[in-house]
Chains A and B, each alone.
Chain A
């Protein structure tokens, strides 16, 4: 008789493919942090010497449409089947997913197909009818952060900078925010499960920083899909982010690290909006707490130019953080256009004028 296994989730490791990834982009990350996806591919190809294929034909997985309830489950299943079909066609078996909502959706669908084979059969049928395509189920489906986690030590070995304050020698204090759909739905899909997922904290440690726990660590950033996308519901989003900032404030973090494209943008923008409403920041001073995604942080320590990484697209200035770890950058180049031409500047950066 089977006795249910007792899992200590924080010690749990999931399987992450070693090489040959079919890249699946994120709607939100492409919009708000386009440099991060570019950096991800570059880190894999140039720093880690991995094979990753970027297929121009793939589209949205419709995950945001699904969670705003305008896209039926059957349609999202078929859309995701199409991505798998492109992967199959190119001879890949491993997916590298950039978006956390997508990651959750892919996993929900893979689990549904396992549990209800008739859903898989229906999806195959729909895809064939709609596009003439067939597909195989990927052997491994990892989120981008899983892959960076897996190679965190290799990245550390090649790094130009450490997450250490060059003046004091102290490790920087970094709080993580894990996107809800990374492992809240399926803890077995997350490195270290959900409660104390180590996917980001072990990156921080490997790169010299100190991960810091805070009470509202697991709380949603507040995106809430329809709660942000409909303007009159946005107070839901901002109040949830506020709860997080308030909770991390006493720990005085040097930065926030995220794995979800939406969270990365919201935690940056809401600090600005809250400061405009409340007249204060949660990071002291007028700037706020810099927010980085795992690729942005990996890119930084590997010596990528912060403006090529797209860090000028953040509202909260990243420069205080860059100075702490000693990144060399040219402040004059922050807001230039193509070929260094002058293209105006934001009215102001940071959270308060």
Chain B
């Protein structure tokens, strides 16, 4: 009977919650281990989801309800740093040496946000009018308005794509994939609250992979007069009046472009979680060349790590949108069930 089996899930973000709820509903004993005092992870900071402006709060509330009803044991304020296989079972421990035992493990510890202060030429943390896409979501959620540091309404806003993504200089050569559509969504939101402002998106490629993403792009251009300029931003400097001078090339015109704006939003990418490296110790879990968790096969089995019995869910594998993380977690739960059934003797 696999119902007596125990599954430990590291990370109480949306992927961990979904996987936990699915497994508990199947009657397994599930412990969901979250490092913060609440579940929901980084989505707690988010205001609206692309491409339909859906509420992230609804997503989290539903997941909390599902985990509660299915009987998941949620442990808070606990950050797992070590996974070991002992006598056929897994031993998970944190820095305080709190231990958890299970028959299977799902790592759903998510991603880390790119630290925009490392991209010094963009002036984040140096110039007050440079904020990140995450700062913007938090601002929208808490204050519902966008002002400059001088407390004026910005007349020109620039949204910068690929910050900490596809950039050997920051060590991240991969595409974070969700930033392009996030930028378009945020541009529309700004236009809604500041209809007279000019909004520019500076991009290298618009990677709009999802259904309806392109129609949101069209909508941004037609209804919201967002201007898209193909050119990667080279630098941001602060002018005497605290406005910002941007340098890029309009590559479709083939001319360098210098433009002054009041506010800049940096679309920061997703990086491998800080704990990924720790998890590779004491077992056979591995990471890929970018530092994300490596599945045994990216086509047929993205949820199995290179260690038997340790599974992966959500953005610990690669950058994903909310819907993909949830679906991916559900698939991980199914893989865990298959594994436990195969190994029930």
Q: What residues of chain A have their CB less than 8 Å away from a CB belonging to chain B? A: 1, 3-10, 193, 195-196, 213-218, 250-251
Find out whether the CB atom of B245 lies under 8 angstroms from the CB atom of A215: yes
- CB < 8 Å: which of A3, A10, A250 contacts B240? A250
A3 vs chain B, min Cβ distance (A) = 5
Q: Is B121 among interface residues, defined by CB-CB distance under 8 A?
A: yes
Chain A residue nearest to B294 (CB atoms) is A1
Give me 17 A-to-B residue pairs in the complex whose CB atoms sit less than 8 angstroms apart, sorted by A's number.
A3-B291, A4-B171, A5-B171, A8-B117, A8-B118, A8-B120, A9-B120, A195-B120, A195-B121, A195-B235, A213-B238, A214-B237, A215-B238, A215-B239, A216-B237, A250-B239, A251-B240
Q: Determine whether B115 belongs to the interface, using a CB cutoff of 8 Å to chain A.
A: yes
Most A CB contacts (10 A, CB to CB) among B115, B237, B272 go to B237
Tell which of B115, B121, B126 touches A6, judged by Cβ atoms closer than 8 Å. Answer: B115
> Which one, A3, A8, A215, contacts B237 given CB within 8 A?
A215
Task: Say whether, besides A5-B171, A6-B115, A8-B117, A217 and B237 are in contact (CB < 8 Å).
Answer: yes
B287 A1 Cβ-Cβ under 8 A: yes
A216 CA / B238 CA spacing, docked (Å): 10
Contact with A along B240-267 (1 / 0, CB 8 A): 1000010000000000000000000000
B88-112 interface mask toward A, CB cutoff 8 Å, 1 = contact, 0 = none? 0000000000000000000000000
Interface size on B, residues (CB 8 A): 21
Contacts of B245 in A (CB 8 A): 215
Nearest residue, chain B, Cβ from A217: B237
Give the A-binding residues of B (Cβ under 8 A): 115, 117-118, 120-121, 126, 170-172, 235, 237-240, 245, 272, 277, 286-287, 289, 291
Identify 12 new A-B residue pairs, CB closer than 8 A, beyond the known A1-B286, A6-B115, A8-B120.
Answer: A1-B289, A4-B171, A4-B172, A7-B118, A8-B118, A9-B120, A10-B120, A195-B120, A214-B237, A217-B237, A250-B239, A251-B240
Chain B hits for A6, CB < 8 A = 115, 118, 170-171
- The 5 A-B pairs of least Cβ separation, nearest first, read A4-B171, A215-B237, A250-B240, A195-B120, A215-B245
Closest to A187 in B: B169
Q: How far is the CA of A230 from the CA of B20 in the complex (A)?
A: 72
Contact residues in B for A1 (Cβ distance below 8 Å): 286-287, 289
Closest B residue by C-beta to A8 = B118
Task: Give CA–CA (A300, B172) in the complex, Å.
Answer: 46
Complex-state Cα separation, A6 to B116, whole angstroms: 11
B260 CB to nearest chain A CB (Å)? 9
List residues of chain B with CB within 8 A of the CB of A251. Answer: 240
A193 and B170 CA atoms in complex are apart in Å by 14
> Which residues from chain B contact A193 at a C-beta distance below 8 Å?
120
Smallest distance from the beta carbon of A270 to chain B beta carbons, Å? 20
In the complex, what residues of A have CB within 8 A of residue B117's CB?
8
Residues of A within 8 A of B238 (CB): 213, 215
A218's closest neighbor in chain B, by CB?
A: B235
Q: For B237, what are the chain A residues with a Cβ–Cβ distance below 8 Å?
A: 213-217
The residue on A at minimum CB distance from B237 is A215
**In the complex the two chains form, what is the Cα distance from A8 to B239 in whole Å?**
23
User: Contact partner of A196 among B115, B120, B172, CB < 8 A?
Assistant: B120
Nearest CB to that of B245 among chain A residues? A215
- CB A131 to nearest CB in B, in angstroms, measures 40
Residues of A contacting B289 in the complex (Cβ-Cβ under 8 angstroms): 1
Which B residues are CB-close (under 8 A) to A217?
237
Q: Taking CB as reference atom, which chain A residue is nearest B168?
A: A4
CB contacts (< 8 Å) of B118 on chain A: these are: 6-8
Report Cα–Cα, A218/B238, bound state, in Å.
12
Contact among A3, A5, A214 with B277 in the assembled complex (CB-CB below 8 Å) = A3
Contact partners of B291 in chain A: CB under 8 A: 3
A9 to B126, CA, bound (A): 14
Residues of A within 8 A of B172 (CB): 4
User: A7 to chain B: which residues have CB within 8 Å?
Assistant: 118
Name the distance in Å between B277's Cβ and chain A's nearest Cβ: 7
Contacts of B235 in A (CB 8 A): 195, 218
For A250, the chain B residues whose CB sits under 8 A away are 239-240
- Residues of chain B lying within 8 A (CB to CB) of residue A215: 237-239, 245
B243: nearest residue on chain A (CB-CB)? Answer: A215
A92 to B115, CA, bound (A): 42
Q: Which residues of B contact A214 (CB under 8 A)?
A: 237
With the chains together, A265 CA to B277 CA distance in Å?
51
Give the complex CA separation of A250 and B126 in angstroms. Answer: 19
Of chain A, the residue at the smallest CB distance from B276 is A3
- Nearest CB to that of A196 among chain B residues? B120
Residues of A within 8 A of B120 (CB): 8-10, 193, 195-196
CA distance A58 to B237 in the complex (A): 41
**CB-nearest residue of chain B relative to A213?**
B238
Chain A residues with Cβ below 8 Å from B286 are 1
Identify the closest chain B residue to A193 (Cβ): B120
Chain A residues near B115 (CB-CB < 8 A):
6
- Chain B, residue nearest A215 (CB): B237
Chain A residue with Cβ nearest B288:
A1
A63 to B126, CA, bound (A): 35
Whole-angstrom distance between the alpha carbons of A10 and B121 in the complex? 11
B residues near A195, Cβ cutoff 8 Å: 120-121, 235
Which residues of chain A are near B240, meaning CB under 8 Å? 250-251
Nearest CB on A from B286, distance (A)? 8
Q: Give Cα A9 to B120, complex, Å.
A: 8
B120 vs chain A, min Cβ distance (A):
4
Shortest Cβ distance from B335 into chain A, in angstroms? Answer: 24
Complex CA–CA separation, A196 to B286 (angstroms)? 36
Q: Contacts of A3 on B, CB cut-off 8 Å?
A: 171, 272, 277, 287, 291
Bound complex: CA A8 to CA B277 (Å): 20
Tell me, rounded to whole Å, the shortest Cβ–Cβ distance linking B156 to chain A.
Answer: 16
Question: Taking the nearest CB of chain A, how far is it from the CB of B116, in angstroms?
Answer: 11
Chain B: CB-nearest residue to A252: B240
Q: How far is the CB of B293 from chain A (nearest CB, A)?
A: 12
**Which A-chain residue is minimally distant from B171 (CB atoms)?**
A4
For A195, the closest partner residue in chain B by CB is B120
Question: CA A5 – CA B168 in complex, angstroms?
Answer: 11
